[in-house]
Structure 1
Amino acid sequence: MTIEPEITPALIEAHGLSADEYDRIIRRLNRAPTYTELGIFSAMWNEHCSYKSSKKWLRTLPTTGPQVICGPGENAGVVDIGDGQALVFKMESHNHPSYIEPHQGAATGIGGILRDVFTMGARPIATMNALSFGEVSHPKTRSLVNGVVEGIGAYGNCFGVPNIGGELRFHKSYNGNCLVNAFAAGLADADKIFYSAASGVGMPVVYLGAKTGRDGVGGATMASAEFDDSIEDKRPTVQVGDPFTEKRLMEACQELMRTGAVISIQDMGAAGLTCSAVEMGDKGGLGVRLDLEKVPCRETGMTAYEMMLSESQERMLMVLRPEKEAVAKAVFDKWDLDFAIVGETIAEDRFLVCMNGEVKADLPLKALSGDAPEYDRPWLPTAAAADMAELPQIDAAAALLSLISSPNYASRAWVWEQYDHTVMADTLVRPGSDAGIVRVHGTNKAIAFTSDVTPRYCRANPVEGGKQAVAEAFRNLCASGARPLATTDNLNFGNPQKPEIMGQFVGCIEGIGAACLVLDMPIVSGNVSLYNETDGRGILPTPTIGAVGLLDSVEDIIRAVPDSADILVLVGETQGHLGQSALLAELFGREDGDAPHVDLGAERRNGEFVRAARGLITAAHDLADGGLALAAAEMAIAGKCGVSIAQTGTGYLFGEDQGRYLLALPADNLPELAALAAETGVPLAEIGAFGGENITLGTATLPLNIVTAAHRGALPQAFG
């Protein structure tokens, strides 16, 4: 018999449970928990698994619509893309593991999000990553960037799925806590989606995939805690991934699903065997019994506690139709993966964990999931931002060159060239554009993907920042010719027990919800990552929005590549808003003023106009950070032709007013475009032309080759 540690206040705290929560456990059980039971409660009641600080506010988000097949609550969200097909997608964080062990932390983030997708019966077709790191000059940033990028590439490239977009930013608030948000999407038949709710009493519970080890024990609890100077002690809680095993696991699961053997299936992610078994039972209104001696292990002498909390990768849990056991086992034998019946579903509300005949945990299952704590944390609204201080006179050419060569706005090619973005041969628009685009294999349809948020805006004005994250995702899809369908979110914040941080969360949720409603982009899946702090210093609020859009035909794609004879047209109203702008941050080290306000009605109107104009225009690009000047320069670089803009003024060139696009088109098409704009009430102005070998802003001129070299060279110089 294993001797278990004495449960002390220090041990309770180490498991991320408060004294009140531990008292609640005792009252619920009418006794003290065993050590294994304490670990199970710790896993299921932490923020990462229970959403105890965020559930109240997540319920306010719009999650339904005619396009939605499955909203939040499953492994991933599902939307209808017509012709009997569905798109399955989700975004999830792997922040804490990636800071502790960058390569494996990022790699297993990719592995986990891919399992979320193929668990539901979908074959992955695309991934993205939204990455936030500290200052380039910080001593850890170089190793973190290189490790994370290598880990993403190593796992995704070996698995064989294209990485077609994402984000990369640098800011001092991430010095002690980088963010690694992973997105994956897959295709499935709309009538062949697999869910995680168990059904039927006495059904076999089957363990599938790789063997269980001690890697990742306590990972979910670690992901719900702040960092301090004991960070290195947490390294053993980071999982280790094997993309080749994951590839075999996907193929085995897809083959198994075709046999009709699967009643329900759940990947083992955070909290491993504990979370997967509890969630399957809870969703199906059933209990679960596990016999741990039947669990395939790769290490000897593992305890019940370790087995229940291990986060070893490439594992699944399934409820099986008993008459199909031999068929199912044959599939997994073929793929050289473990297949073991480790328990059964039971009628009682009970989570019974046994090992060699000894009861290690006997808990009411509902208490672990459906009845987990839910908090209405005190929160303070973010104070209105003070007016922006006066801005000194700038040289427009020098300002543009500084912006476009800064790590935040330079070309990301150094990153995405380390990823395979063409595997599967369906990538139509590669990373570096407003949205990555992948053909729906065997059809003429395509799906566009983007990821967006501006954390400076979210700190200055959480409501407008939340709106803007969704609105920019909407613009990126529209600028690519896609009809926006739906979104997934990855809500990264600091400590929710600080009222000002909780206020940021509440404000961003309000803004996100309002934008999703008006722009008809419901949230169908997502993840909340809290306690992103080190030594009490939190990150900028970073509610990343991943969005998908549908193109009925690949001929509808709009690229950001102008022709050298095109004119340049601006869509939307320009007031010259410079508060919280890229210009302020990069040139002056300032983050003052209010965030730009978002007119959601104008966003929808202008985006629909751009899509309607696709037959008249050569190229489109949305305006965001850096305003008109940066967007025009990016188009010039993409088209390998100069651009000239006659009007001057810092606010005009670098302001970040929302709802705007740049369009390139032949001059002969302008009258028809103007008529369409007038008919729909869209502000439209001809502002310049492409051609030549320079970028000209009023009287300021820069050679295009100098700008291009600066744009492409910044990241390799910093990290290569």
Structure 2
Amino acid sequence: IQDMGAAGLTCSAVEMGDKGNLGVRLDLDRVPCREAGMTAYEMMLSESQERMLMVLKPEKEAEAKAIFDKWDLDFAIVGETIAEDRFLIVHGNETKADLPLKALSGTAPEYDRPWVETPAAAEMGPVAAVDPIDGLKGLISSPNYAHKGWVYEQYDTTVMADTVRAPGLGAGVVRVHATGKALAFTSDVTPRYVMANPYEGGKQAVAEAYRNLTACGAKPLAATDNMNFGNPEKPEIMGQFVGAIKGIGEACQALDMPIVSGNVSLYNETDGVGILPTPTIGAVGLLETLDDMIAGLPAEGDLAILIGAPGSHLGQSALLAEVFNREDGDAPWVDLSAERAHGFFIRENRTLIGACTDLSDGGLALAAFEMAEGAGIGVSLDTGDMAELFGEDQARYLVACRFDQAEALMVAAGRAGVPCAAVGRFGGTSVKFGSSEAPLEELSRLYRTAFEAAVG
């Protein structure tokens, strides 16, 4: 059985035949269609969704049909496997295609396109000081970082009542029926990073997906890559593609999170200008039991604990892009050994953690605000330093927990050699960074209305 994605029936039939070392004969007169008069060309390349291609033993046809009828699903026998290496397509009693199947898959020609390495990013220029709360407002008023509830609240996110962790809190979590287990899902990429440094940007996309799963207590299992780039016939674009793949591959190996599926979307350009390189990483993690989930929100009086180094890296940061309209400097470096060690530490000490999020776009400032706002309480961070608040250094998490748990967490971190420090406290009705302060209600209103105001 295989899903129908790119190139629809063509791709799924050819790939399955090739894997089985068989040919395939398709009778398009038997393919269910939504419209009359579709050509063979249209039917073979249609990418209609929610479709699967299945190979059945002939004696199982009646049993399979009964199951599909039970669930009110379309079901049709549209062809058969054949011994010869042929891909035969028949429509209206006329042969529309007859060619070697393997020529379309296993023995298809492969491109070896010329590529040039992306040049090193120019050093970041001086960054003017900004009031920390004004910097936060610049982020949460942007469609990129504003609350996305206006989108997902229009859709059913609780199908079959299996949703355990709803949208808006990093990775989503759903139950697995009759097992006591649950799966966590996330998808991540920062195109600015990949544009500046495809190799580090590719590593970072995997690392952030790993952190998002870890932050809810799940053990990362596997990933899917969605490679979205411009025209690969341009050596500089192909260079982005090559660099990103190298970074993704290294990160997947280091974090034991293999790529198990994926897709590629190329030639994404408008008037000759390509999109930012966007190798999105989707990832899945496992919770052996729901008791393993880090599911809470910060509570009044919780300490804010930073796992990882203090912020320092503003190159290609959200603050630089949204507040200063700049995209300069290098992407942050990703220490994969630190990512693995810090992720393991979070999962091993989950019983001490009340709430957790990873630090990525917007650094400590945005992470602390989002945690606090989700709980409907304020937060006070001790520092007002711009790099410490908005720096996007990697391998970092923000944890909320009670004083006794925080003390135990710090002892455990010392033993494990993991950087860990108290950086503030949750509670009250305002957001305070250093000496800069604003009412939570005012910031929350901006955060929850900005996206609809921009695109609604």
Counterpart of 2:370 (choices 631, 634, 651) is 634
In 2, Cα distance between equivalents of 1:312 and 1:341: 18
Change (3 A) 1:364 1:388: same
Give the distance between the partners of 1:344 and 1:438, measured in 2 at CA: 37
Distance across 1 between alignment mates of 2:80 and 2:259: 34
Partner of 1:245: none
Partner Cα distance (1:397, 1:717) in 2: 21
Which of 524, 528, 531 is the matching residue for 2:267?
531
Q: Is the 8 A contact 1:564 1:639 kept in 2?
A: no
Are the structure 2 counterparts of residues 566 and 333 from structure 1 closer, same or farther at C-alpha, using a change threshold of 3 Å? closer
1:661 to partner: Cα distance: 1.1
Helix, strand or coil: the match of 1:647? coil
Counterpart of 2:304 in structure 1 is: 568
1:556 and 2:292 aligned: yes
Residue equivalent to 2:152: 416
Note the C-alpha offset of 1:343: 3.5
Distance in 1 (CA, whole Å) between partners of 2:350 and 2:75 is 52
Partner of 1:670: 406
Q: Residues 622 and 354 (structure 1 numbering): CA distance in 2 closer, same or farther, change over 3 Å?
A: closer
CA 1:665/1:303 → structure 2, altered by over 3 Å: closer, same or farther? closer
In 2: Cα distance, 1:302 partner to 1:436 partner: 40
How far is 1:456 from its partner?
0.3
Residues of 1 paired with 2:42 and 2:383: CA distance? 66
1:715 aligns with: 451
| Whole-Å separation in 1 of the counterparts to 2:442 and 2:57 | 65
The one of 377, 393, 417 aligned to 2:129? 393
Q: CA RMSD in A?
A: 2.0
Alignment correspondent of 1:658: 394
- Equivalent residues of 2:311, 2:364 under 8 A apart: no
SS in 1 for 2:159: coil
SS at match of 1:664: strand
Aligned-partner Cα distance in 1 for 2:303–2:49:
53
1: distance between equivalents of 2:376 and 2:283? 29
**Contact preservation (8 Å) 2:311, 2:390:** no
Deviations 1:429-477 (A, max 9, x none): 1111121111222333221111111100000011110111111111111
Deviation of 1:551 (Å):
1.4
1:503 Cα offset (Å): 0.7
User: Following superposition of structure 1 onto structure 2, how do residues 124-135 of structure 1 map, counting pairs within 5 Å?
Assistant: none
Instruction: Measure the CA separation in 1 of the matches of 2:316 and 2:44.
Output: 46
Q: CA deviation at 1:560?
A: 5.8
Shift of 1:719: 2.9
| Gapped regions of structure 2 (runs ≥ 5) | none
Could you tell me how far 1:701 is from its partner in structure 2? 0.8
Task: Give the partner amino acid of 1:542.
Answer: T
**Residues 643/371 of structure 1: CA separation in 2 closer, same or farther (3 Å cut):** same
Equivalent of residue 649 in structure 1, options 375, 385, 405 = 385
Aligned match for 1:352, one of 71, 85, 88: 88
Q: Is the deviation greater in 541-550 or in 439-448?
A: 439-448
Deviation at 1:526, TM superposition (A): 0.7
Q: 1:679 maps to which residue? A: 415
Q: Which amino acid aligns with 1:443?
A: T
- Shift in Å at residue 407 of structure 1? 1.2
1:424/1:570 Cα in 2 relative to 1: closer, same or farther (>3 Å)?
A: same
Name the SS of the counterpart of 2:351 in structure 1.
coil
Residue 606 of structure 1, aligned match among 342, 347, 356: 342
The question of 1:436 aligning with 2:159 is answered no
Relative distance call for 1:676 and 1:364 in structure 2 (3 A) is same
User: What's the offset of the Cα at 1:374?
Assistant: 0.6
Q: Among 279, 304, 309, which residue is 1:543 paired with?
A: 279
Q: Taking structure 1 as reference, are residues 392 and 370 closer, same or farther at Cα in structure 2, changes over 3 Å only? A: same
Equivalent residue runs for 1:274-423 within 5 Å: 274-297=10-33, 299-313=35-49, 315-332=51-68, 339-423=75-159
The match for 1:465 is 201
**Partner SS, residue 54 of structure 2:** strand
Deviation for aligned residue 1:315: 4.6
Does the CA contact (< 8 Å) of 1:412 and 1:715 recur in 2? yes
Local SS of the residue matching 2:253:
helix
Asked whether the 8 Å contact 2:231–2:266 carries over to 1, the reply is yes
Question: For residue 494 of structure 1, what is the aligned residue in structure 2?
Answer: 230
The correspondence for 1:579, drawn from 289, 309, 315, is 315
Corresponding residue of 1:482: 218
The unaligned stretches of length 5 or more in structure 1 are: 1-264
Residues 622-670 of structure 1 show CA distances to partners (whole Å, capped at 9, x for unaligned) of: 1111111111111111222221122221111111111111111111223
Contact 1:439–1:445 (8 Å) recurs in 2: yes
C-alpha distance 606-536 of structure 1, shift in aligned 2 (>3 A): same
Q: Aligned to 1:574, what secondary structure does the other structure show?
A: coil
Q: Which amino acid aligns with 2:410?
A: A
d(CA) in 2 for partners of 1:434, 1:279: 35
TM-score by length of 1: 0.61
Change (3 A) 1:375 1:292: same
Q: Which string of whole-angstrom CA distances, capped at 9 and with x for unpartnered residues, describes residues 59-87 of structure 1?
A: xxxxxxxxxxxxxxxxxxxxxxxxxxxxx
Amino acid at match of 2:411: A
Deviation at 1:546, TM superposition (A): 0.7
Cα pair 2:316 2:328 within 8 Å, conserved: yes
User: Which sits farther off after the overlay, 408-417 or 398-407?
Assistant: 398-407
Cα distance in 2, alignment partners of residues 313 and 388 from structure 1 = 45
Distance 1:585 1:364, change over 3 A: same
* Partner Cα distance (2:36, 2:441) in 1: 61
Letter in 1 for 2:84: E
Tell me, yes or no, if the aligned pair for 1:560 and 1:635 is still in contact at 8 Å.
Answer: no
Matches for 1:193-342 after TM superposition, within 5 Å: 265-297=1-33, 299-313=35-49, 315-332=51-68, 339-342=75-78
What is the deviation of 1:297?
4.9
CA distance in 2, matches of 1:489, 1:473: 11
Please give the secondary structure, in 1, of the residue aligned with 2:161: coil
